């Protein structure tokens, strides 16, 4: 019998939805690189329903309890008295989502002698101290590709909303106004602008593909170049470093993982080299941008807008300056947890658990840390901190 400790975000303030806006979600069988969507033996949930909050339980309860395991689900994850802290010492498996991360620090690993598997229901395991996982032989897995397209759609939405000044214009309508001049004094067309992505992995490339029909000039930087035929198909220009990219771009979107190389990348010095009035969109991780440098740049006009859904810490405290800085298009961490994405990462979490409990190998593309070292997708995307 294993104890599975699952940390999910709280239910809606009015309780779990009784009805939904739509009757279902399209079934996605494979991703643009040919990887198949999750293939658990079965699922015990209805795709399109809320699974990522506490009452949704990622649809895991029947599966785990019928196999004799114990499932504890909570949203209470921070502080010494939290349910997470209390349950962790006897947990064998921890499941957490990047949207509401249960930070698995080295100290927490030390208090969890039974812990063998940490699953990220979603993508991005930077809330887990990977070095500690390596040292303790804990496997870390995530549901690679499950929400990459979801995030790329969100990025395109954010770019358009900033450039076209959508949020302030919408606010005028809600306030009862018809203030066209106020709205359009900051509204531009995206057409013809230089748009660049920091990283062209699954999300970054999906963003480039979605932006191509807008007749923009595309740019990217990454640790590795895309295949020449992809560069030619997208008409995208490669930059060897982020400095060269941001100098020429009107819009920059960040799609790199958070790791020692990217933490604090967008600081005062880098932002000062961007075009005046550039837009910055970050759906990767909050810590890739220096919090106060972003605020200063919006206040001075160096940046014309900043939007994204990633913060540090999460949830962001009520006085986090990104909530109130000018020209921001911030949301809570939602881009990768649409109802559509939840169906895929809940199925992927189930697939990982089925493999784990039956002694079958977890798909290589889901592995971040395994058998004492970075593995699979983790070996490709992450750098272990130097000890």
Minimal distance in Å, beta carbon 258 to ligand NDP? Answer: 6
Q: Give the footprint of ligand NDP on residues 109-128 (CB under 6 A).
A: 122-124
If the CB atoms of residues 77 and 202 are measured against ligand NDP, the closer one turns out to be 202
Q: Residue 118 has what DSSP assignment?
A: E
Minimal distance in Å, beta carbon 292 to ligand NDP? Answer: 21
Number of Cα atoms under 13 Å in the Cβ half of residue 274: 30
Q: Which of 314, 328, 344, 350 is catalytic?
A: 314
d(C-alpha 254, C-alpha 289), whole Å: 9
User: One symbol per residue from 173 to 202: x for binding ligand NDP (CB under 6 A), - otherwise; what is it?
Assistant: -------------------------xxxxx
d(C-alpha 78, C-alpha 101), whole Å: 10
Q: Catalytic: 186?
A: no
Instruction: Report whether the peptide linkage leading into residue 352 is cis, meaning its omega lies within 30 degrees of zero.
Output: no
Q: Kindly state the tokens that stand for 378.
A: 């983790």
List the one residue from 75, 139, 161, 221 that touches ligand NDP (CB under 6 A): 221
Query: Contact between 151 and ligand NDP (CB under 6 A)?
Result: yes
Q: Catalytic: 147?
A: yes
Q: Catalytic: 314?
A: yes
Query: Contact between 335 and ligand NDP (CB under 6 A)?
Result: yes
Please report the DSSP string for 240-308 in residue order: SSHHHHHHH-SEEEE----STTTTT-B-HHHHHTSPTTEEEEE-S-GGGB-HHHHHHHHHHTSEEEEEE
Let me know if 74 is exposed, middle or buried by CB neighbors in 10 A (0-12, 13-18, 19+): middle
Q: Catalytic: 285?
A: yes
Query: Contact between 142 and ligand NDP (CB under 6 A)?
Result: no
Query: What are φ and ψ of residue 275, in 5° steps?
Result: -65, 140
d(C-alpha 18, C-alpha 115), whole Å: 36
For β-strands 367-370 and 194-198, DSSP reports them as: unpaired
Q: Kindly state the tokens that stand for 67.
A: 């196999």
If the CB atoms of residues 2 and 156 are measured against ligand NDP, the closer one turns out to be 156
Work out the end-to-end distance of the chain between its first and last CA atoms, rounded to an integer number of angstroms. Answer: 35
Minimal distance in Å, beta carbon 37 to ligand NDP? Answer: 14
If the CB atoms of residues 142 and 250 are measured against ligand NDP, the closer one turns out to be 142
List the one residue from 257, 329, 348, 378 that touches ligand NDP (CB under 6 A): 257
Query: Contact between 156 and ligand NDP (CB under 6 A)?
Result: no
Q: Which of 285, 344, 350, 370 is catalytic?
A: 285
Cβ atoms 303, 294 nearer than 8 A: yes
Cβ atoms 60, 353 nearer than 8 A: yes
Query: Contact between 255 and ligand NDP (CB under 6 A)?
Result: yes
Query: Contact between 216 and ligand NDP (CB under 6 A)?
Result: no
Query: Contact between 338 and ligand NDP (CB under 6 A)?
Result: no
| Total chain residues near ligand NDP (CB under 6 A) | 33
If the CB atoms of residues 168 and 264 are measured against ligand NDP, the closer one turns out to be 264
Residues catalogued as catalytic: 147, 285, 314, 333
Interface contacts to ligand NDP, rule CB under 6 A: 122-124, 147-148, 151, 198-204, 221-224, 255-258, 261-262, 283-285, 309-310, 333, 335-336, 380-381
């Amino acid at each position: 019998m294993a104890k599975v400790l699952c940390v999910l975000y709280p239910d809606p303030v009015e309780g779990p939805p009784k009805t939904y806006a739509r009757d279902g979600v399209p079934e996605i069988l494979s991703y643009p690189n040919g990887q198949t969507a999750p293939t658990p033996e079965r699922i015990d949930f209805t795709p399109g329903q809320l699974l990522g909050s506490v009452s949704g339980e990622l649809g895991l309860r029947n599966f785990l309890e019928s196999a004799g395991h114990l499932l504890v689900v909570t949203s209470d994850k921070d502080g010494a008295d939290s349910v997470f802290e209390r349950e962790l010492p006897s947990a064998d498996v921890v499941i957490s989502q990047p949207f509401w991360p249960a930070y698995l620090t080295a100290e927490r690993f030390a208090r969890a002698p039974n812990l063998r598997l940490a699953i990220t229901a979603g993508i991005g395991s930077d809330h887990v101290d990977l070095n500690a996982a390596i040292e303790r032989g804990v496997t870390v897995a995530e549901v690679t590709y499950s929400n990459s397209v979801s995030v790329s759609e969100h990025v395109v939405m954010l770019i358009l909303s900033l450039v076209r000044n959508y949020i302030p214009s919408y606010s005028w309508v809600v306030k009862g106004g018809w203030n066209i001049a106020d709205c359009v004094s900051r509204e531009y067309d995206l057409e013809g602008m230089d748009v660049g992505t920091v990283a062209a992995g699954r999300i970054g490339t999906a963003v480039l593909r979605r932006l191509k029909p807008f007749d923009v000039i595309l740019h990217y930087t990454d640790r590795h170049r895309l295949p020449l035929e992809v560069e030619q198909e997208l008409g995208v220009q490669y930059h060897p470093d982020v400095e060269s990219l941001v100098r020429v771009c009107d819009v920059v979107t960040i799609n790199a993982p958070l790791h020692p190389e990217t933490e604090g990348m967008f600081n005062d010095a880098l932002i000062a080299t961007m075009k005046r009035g550039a837009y910055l969109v970050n759906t990767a991780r909050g810590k890739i941008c220096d919090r106060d440098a972003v605020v200063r740049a919006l206040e001075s006009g160096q940046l014309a807008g900043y939007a994204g859904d990633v913060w540090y810490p999460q949830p962001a405290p009520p006085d986090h300056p990104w909530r109130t800085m000018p020209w921001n298009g911030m949301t809570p961490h939602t881009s990768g947890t649409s109802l559509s994405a939840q169906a895929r990462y809940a199925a992927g979490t189930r697939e990982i658990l089925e493999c784990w409990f039956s002694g079958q190998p977890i798909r290589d593309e889901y592995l971040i840390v395994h058998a004492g070292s970075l593995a699979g997708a983790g070996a490709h995307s992450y750098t272990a901190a130097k000890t």
